[in-house]
C-alpha cells in the first residue's frame, strides 16, 4: 500500500512524471530490493557510503552486507533487520525508480525524508508494513469517532480499492477525511443504500476524469461525457455497491439499494457528518462520498 502512496507523493511534487511512475510500478514487480536503498532509508548509511560499497563489489566478490560490516557502516543486527524488510513497497518503488534512471539515490533519500516529515512519520513508523490494509482504514474511521460504523466503512473503502484495481487502475490510493463543507461537482454519480443501515454513496469528478473513468471501466473509446460515459461510471458504482451488499448479507446484514443516478453541475449539501474519500489514480483524481 505504501508503494502507491509514495508514488503519488512523488508525482504531486513534480519529482517524476505519470509515465515514469507507471514505468517504475510495472518494473517494480520484478525488482529485488537492494540493501543499499534499505540502508539509506533506515539511516544506517549515507548515499556516498552505499556508492563506495557498490564500487568495492566491482573488485571484490562479496555481498553488500558483508562489505558494509567490514567497513563498520552497519552491524550484524542491522543487516538482519535490512534483510527482513527487503520487500517493503515504498522502497521497492524507490529501487525501481533508480534502476530505470528516473531518480538518483540522493534524490530518493531526499524524497523519503520529506515524505516522512510531511506526513509526521518517523522512520520506524514508515517502515511498518501492515498485513491488512482494512485494519488501518478502520482505525482512521475510528479516529473520527465511528466506533460502531467504523468496520463497515472500512470494509466499503477496502472493497472500493479492490474494485478500482480490478476494473479501473492498477495503482489507486485513497485519502479519507471528514467532509467539512458542501460539494459542487461537475459530475455527480450517486446511489442510496438502505435497510438496517442507510448509506448515501457518490462519485464526484470533473469532466476529464469522468470521461477517462468511463472509458477505462467500459474498456471502450469514450471521448465525451455522453450517455455511454454516464452509464459506465454509474454502472461501476452500482457494481461496487452490489458486491458490498453481498458481503454485508454474508455477514448477516440485509441491505438494498436504489438505482444509481448521474447529474451534472450538482451541489451536495453537507448533512453534518459525512466522509470524503479522495481517490488518486495514475491518470487523475476523483472523490467518493459516504454519508
pLDDT tens readout for residues 103-115: 998 898 888 888 7
Same-domain pairing of 61 and 153: no
Same-domain pairing of 120 and 244: no
Boundary (domain end) residue, out of 84, 107, 126: 126
Q: How confident is the model at residue 273 (pLDDT cuts 50, 70, 90)?
A: confident
Phi, psi of 65 (to 5 degrees): -60, -40
118-134, pLDDT tens digit by residue? 655 444 334 333 334 66
Cell of 101: 534512471
Same-domain pairing of 151 and 270: yes
Boundary (domain end) residue, out of 108, 126, 144: 126
Q: Residue 71 has what pLDDT?
A: 96
Same-domain pairing of 100 and 162: no
**Cβ-Cβ contacts under 8 Å for 5 (sequence gap 6 or more):** 90, 173
For the chain, the average pLDDT equals: 85
Q: Residue 150 has what pLDDT?
A: 84
Same-domain pairing of 257 and 153: yes
Domain of 144 in residue numbering reads as 133-290
| Mean pLDDT, range 234-262, rounded to an integer | 92
Q: How confident is the model at residue 276 (pLDDT cuts 50, 70, 90)?
A: very high
Boundary (domain end) residue, out of 89, 107, 126: 126
Same-domain pairing of 119 and 137: no
Distances, alpha carbon 251 to alpha carbons 153, 255, 257, 276, in Å: 14, 11, 17, 25
Same-domain pairing of 57 and 10: yes
Q: Residue 119 has what pLDDT?
A: 57
Same-domain pairing of 10 and 48: yes
Same-domain pairing of 230 and 86: no
Q: Residue 136 has what pLDDT?
A: 75
Phi, psi of 123 (to 5 degrees): -60, -40
| Mean pLDDT, range 235-247, rounded to an integer | 91
pTM score > 0.75 for this model? no
Q: How confident is the model at residue 42 (pLDDT cuts 50, 70, 90)?
A: confident
Q: Residue 260 has what pLDDT?
A: 96
Q: How confident is the model at residue 59 (pLDDT cuts 50, 70, 90)?
A: confident
Same-domain pairing of 105 and 150: no
Distances, alpha carbon 117 to alpha carbons 89, 125, 161, in Å: 18, 11, 26
Domain count, the chain: 2
Same-domain pairing of 177 and 279: yes
Distances, alpha carbon 153 to alpha carbons 100, 114, 164, in Å: 38, 31, 16
Same-domain pairing of 200 and 79: no
Q: Helices 18-28 and 89-99 sit at what angle, rounded to 10 degrees?
A: 110
Task: Find the CATH number of the domain harbouring 163.
Answer: 3.40.1550.10
Amino acid at each position: 500500500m505504501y508503494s502507491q502512496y509514495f508514488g503519488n507523493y512523488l508525482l504531486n511534487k513534480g519529482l517524476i512524471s505519470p509515465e515514469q511512475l507507471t514505468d517504475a510500478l510495472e518494473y517494480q514487480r520484478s525488482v529485488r530490493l537492494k540493501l543499499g536503498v534499505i540502508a539509506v532509508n533506515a539511516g544506517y548509511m549515507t548515499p556516498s557510503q552505499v556508492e563506495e560499497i557498490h564500487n568495492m563489489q566491482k573488485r571484490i566478490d562479496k555481498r553488500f552486507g558483508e562489505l558494509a560490516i567490514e567497513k563498520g557502516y552497519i552491524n550484524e543486527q542491522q543487516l538482519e533487520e535490512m534483510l527482513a524488510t527487503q520487500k517493503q513497497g515504498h522502497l521497492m518503488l524507490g529501487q525501481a525508480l533508480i534502476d530505470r534512471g528516473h531518480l538518483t539515490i540522493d534524490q530518493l533519500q531526499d524524497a523519503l525524508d520529506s515524505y516522512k516529515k510531511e506526513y509526521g512519520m518517523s522512520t520506524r513508523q514508515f517502515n511498518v508494513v501492515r498485513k491488512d490494509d482494512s485494519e488501518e482504514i478502520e482505525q482512521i474511521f475510528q479516529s473520527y469517532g465511528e466506533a460502531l460504523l467504523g468496520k463497515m466503512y472500512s470494509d466499503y473503502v477496502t472493497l472500493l480499492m479492490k474494485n478500482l484495481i480490478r476494473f479501473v487502475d492498477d495503482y489507486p490510493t485513497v485519502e479519507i477525511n471528514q467532509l467539512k463543507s458542501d460539494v459542487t461537482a461537475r459530475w455527480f454519480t450517486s446511489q442510496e443504500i438502505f435497510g438496517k443501515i442507510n448509506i448515501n454513496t457518490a462519485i464526484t469528478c470533473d469532466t476529464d476524469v469522468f470521461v477517462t473513468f468511463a472509458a477505462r471501466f467500459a474498456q471502450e473509446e469514450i471521448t465525451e461525457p455522453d450517455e455511454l460515459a454516464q452509464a459506465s461510471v454509474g454502472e461501476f458504482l452500482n457494481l461496487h455497491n452490489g458486491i458490498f451488499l453481498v458481503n454485508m448479507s454474508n455477514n448477516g446484514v440485509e441491505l438494498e439499494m436504489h438505482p444509481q443516478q448521474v447529474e451534472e453541475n450538482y451541489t451536495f449539501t453537507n448533512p453534518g457528518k459525512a466522509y470524503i474519500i479522495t481517490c488518486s489514480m495514475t491518470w487523475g483524481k476523483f472523490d467518493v462520498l459516504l454519508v
